Amino acid sequence: MFTGIFKDTSVRILITFMIVLCILSSLVLPDWMQNNFMYGLSRGLAILGLMLLWRTNLVSFGHALYYGFGAYAVALCQKYFGITDILLRFAIAVIAAGLLGFCLGFILRKYREIFFAMLSLAFSMVLYGLLAKAEFLGSTDGMSISPSTLLGMELTRQYLFYLITFFVICAAISIQAYLRSTLGHLTTAIQDNEIRVEYLGYSVQKAIHIKYVMSACLAGGAGGLMAASLGQVDPDSMVNWNVSGELVFITIMSGWGNILAPFIGAIIFEFIRTYAFEWAPQAWAAIVGGTLLAIIFFFPGGIWSVIEKVFNYGKKKDVK
Closest contact distance (angstroms) between CB of 122 and other proteins is 4
Q: Which one of 91, 158, 198, 306 is in contact with other proteins (CB under 8 A)?
A: 198
**Cβ proximity of 46 and 228 under 8 Å:** no
**Cβ proximity of 171 and 98 under 8 Å:** no
Q: Does position 278 bind other proteins by CB under 8 A?
A: no
Q: Which one of 24, 130, 170, 306 is in contact with other proteins (CB under 8 A)?
A: 130
Closest contact distance (angstroms) between CB of 150 and other proteins is 31
Separation of alpha carbons 266 and 47, rounded Å: 8
**Cβ proximity of 143 and 137 under 8 Å:** yes
Closest by CA to 188, choosing from 61, 320, 56, is 56
Piece of the chain touching other proteins by CB under 8 A; list 72-80, 92-100, 140-148, 245-253: 245-253
Q: Which is nearer to other proteins, 34 or 240 (CB)?
A: 240
Q: Which one of 9, 81, 133, 231 is in contact with other proteins (CB under 8 A)?
A: 133
**Phi-psi label, residue 139: left if phi above 0, alpha if psi -120 to 50, beta otherwise:** left
Separation of alpha carbons 305 and 67, rounded Å: 26
Closest by CA to 178, choosing from 60, 52, 301, is 52
Which spans of this chain sit near other proteins (rule: CB under 8 A)? 1, 3-4, 59, 61, 107, 111, 113-115, 117-119, 121-123, 125-126, 128-130, 132-135, 177-178, 180-186, 188-189, 192-193, 195-196, 198-203, 240-242, 245, 248-249, 252, 282-286, 288-293, 296-297, 300, 318-320
